[in-house]
């Protein structure tokens, strides 16, 4: 779910045009993307897209076409996959499983009643990303020539680390967690077709990519990154869901600015979580990450993509070939730079 510091971020969030991102590498939160595809790419009654064997393919559909759109806009995507969650998060993950089980019941009930709109809403909430779906996504990326990084733990932490090393320009996610992990820059709403339907409403709004600079966020509020993490913990993170009773963004910011030192803040408030606050602080300030990755955007292997999507998962050959044509063209335009090595024949 992520930390809800929208109010804090909004004043420094800049709407940008997509072409601002041309030539930039972005570390995209793979789980965040795949979940969104899984939740939204569905039929009227909420059934996801599936191949002939009944395997879900909604995530592949979204990943394939959106990634091509990135490349066509000169964006260099690198997908970052979550690894093993910190133990502190296990309770929250368990809670989410329960919410999904509940949604599953309501989904079936709505179907029974023939209420397709309700059914779809609950179906979306049942979305589960299985390991085979993740493997499929990685396969597809490999065939497309798009790099991915397997994070040892939190993907958002890994993406943040990559921005700090300067390997990517920004992290890309709908959640704000990467800012707590120290991401230099966050891009939200990184979709190409800008119209999005508001939940439960027949209203569509234009959504443009939104860039948040960590330094700007901190200086705007006159706080340090440590203090931002404290605010996050007060309002609630995946490591202390719900946050501290009575604290929203405004009250948390006020307290943090009054007391300054995180230790003083945590002494001043009631702490009802099992995990001590300093342990959670450390998870954000010194998360487990890896330097063991290399970012290379390669020419797409069209044959393998077609074999995978069309032969194995029953995608339409026409659509896939069309999209691959676009991908190859974009690859040549933006990524196939005449490097010194190639000039000298290395």
Partner DNA sequence: CGCGGGAA
Partner DNA sequence: TTCCCGCGG
In the bound state with DNA, the residue whose beta carbon lies nearer, of 216 and 321, is 321
Among 293, 34, 35, which Cα is nearest to 158's? 293
Q: How far is the CB of 48 from DNA (least distance, A)?
A: 6
Q: Provide, rounded to whole angstroms, the least separation between the CB of residue 119 and DNA.
A: 14
Nearer to DNA, 135 or 261 (CB): 135
**Would you say 51 or 301 has its CB closer to DNA?**
51
> Helix or strand or coil: residue 26?
strand
Give the annotated binding-site residues.
29, 82, 154, 156, 175, 177, 238
C-beta closer to DNA: residue 70 or 176: 70
Strands 170-172 and 25-29: parallel
Rounded Cα distance between 182 and 28, Å, is: 15
- Minimum gap (Å) between residue 259 Cβ and DNA: 40
What residues form DSSP beta bridges with 172? Answer: 28, 187
Token reading at 262: 């995180």
Cβ 310 to DNA, closest distance in Å?
A: 8
Q: Output the furthest CA–CA distance in the chain (Å, rounded).
A: 69
**How far is it, in rounded angstroms, from Cα 115 to Cα 107?**
9
Three-class SS of residue 81?
strand
User: Cβ 164 to DNA, closest distance in Å?
Assistant: 27
Q: How far apart are CA 283 and CA 133, in angstroms?
A: 28
In the complex with DNA, which residue's Cβ is closer, 180 or 309?
309
Q: How far is the CB of 346 from DNA (least distance, A)?
A: 36
Q: Helices 30-40 & 58-72, crossing angle to 10 degrees? A: 120
For residue 83, the 8-state DSSP code is -
Which pair of structure tokens corresponds to residue 188?
């939200």
Contact residues toward DNA (CB under 7 A) are 36-37, 40-43, 47-51, 57, 60-62, 65-66, 68-69, 191-193, 196-197, 313-316, 318-320, 322-323
CA dist., res. 51 & res. 237, Å (int): 37
Positions of E strands within 99-220: 148-150, 170-172, 185-188, 195-197, 204-206, 210-213
Which residues are known binding-site members for Mg(2+)? 29, 82, 154, 156, 175, 177, 238
What radius of gyration, in Å, describes the C-alpha atoms of the chain?
A: 21
Q: Would you call 345 exposed, middle or buried from its count of C-beta atoms within 10 A (0-12, 13-18, 19+)?
A: exposed
Taking the least distance from each CB to DNA, the nearer of 22 and 322 is 322
**Measured from the CB of residue 218, what is the shortest distance to DNA in angstroms?**
30
Question: Cβ closer to DNA: 192 or 269?
Answer: 192
């Amino acid at each position: 779910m992520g930390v809800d510091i929208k109010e804090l971020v909004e004043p420094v969030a800049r709407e940008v045009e997509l072409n601002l991102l041309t030539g930039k590498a972005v570390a995209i939160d793979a789980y965040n993307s795949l979940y969104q595809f899984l939740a939204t790419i569905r039929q009227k009654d909420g059934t996801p897209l599936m191949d002939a064997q009944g395997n879900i393919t909604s995530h592949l559909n979204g990943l394939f076409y959106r990634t091509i759109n990135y490349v066509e806009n000169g964006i260099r995507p690198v997908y970052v996959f979550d690894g093993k969650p910190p133990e502190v998060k296990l309770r929250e993950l368990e809670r989410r499983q329960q919410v999904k089980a509940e949604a599953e019941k309501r989904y079936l009930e709505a179907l029974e009643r023939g209420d397709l709109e309700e059914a779809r809403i609950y179906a979306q909430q049942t979305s589960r990303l299985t390991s085979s779906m993740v493997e499929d996504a990685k396969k597809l990326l490999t065939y497309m020539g798009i790099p991915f990084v397997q994070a040892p733990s939190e993907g958002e932490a890994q993406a943040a680390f990559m921005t700090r090393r300067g390997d990517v320009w920004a992290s890309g996610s709908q959640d704000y967690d990467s800012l707590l992990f120290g991401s230099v820059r966050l891009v939200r709403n990184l979709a190409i077709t800008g119209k999005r339907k508001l939940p439960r409403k027949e209203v569509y709004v234009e959504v443009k990519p939104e860039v948040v600079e960590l330094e700007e966020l901190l200086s705007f509020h006159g706080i340090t990154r440590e203090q931002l993490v404290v605010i996050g913990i007060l309002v609630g993170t995946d490591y202390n869901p719900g946050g501290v009773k009575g604290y929203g963004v405004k009250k948390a910011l006020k307290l943090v600015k009054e007391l300054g030192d995180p230790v003083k803040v945590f002494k001043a408030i009631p702490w009802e979580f099992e995990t001590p606050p300093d342990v959670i602080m450390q998870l954000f300030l010194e998360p487990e990450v890896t330097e063991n990755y290399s970012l290379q955007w390669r020419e797409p292997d069209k044959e393998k993509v077609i074999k995978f999507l069309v032969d194995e998962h029953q995608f339409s050959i026409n659509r896939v070939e069309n999209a691959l044509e676009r991908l190859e063209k974009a690859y040549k335009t933006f990524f196939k730079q005449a490097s010194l090595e190639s000039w000298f024949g290395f």
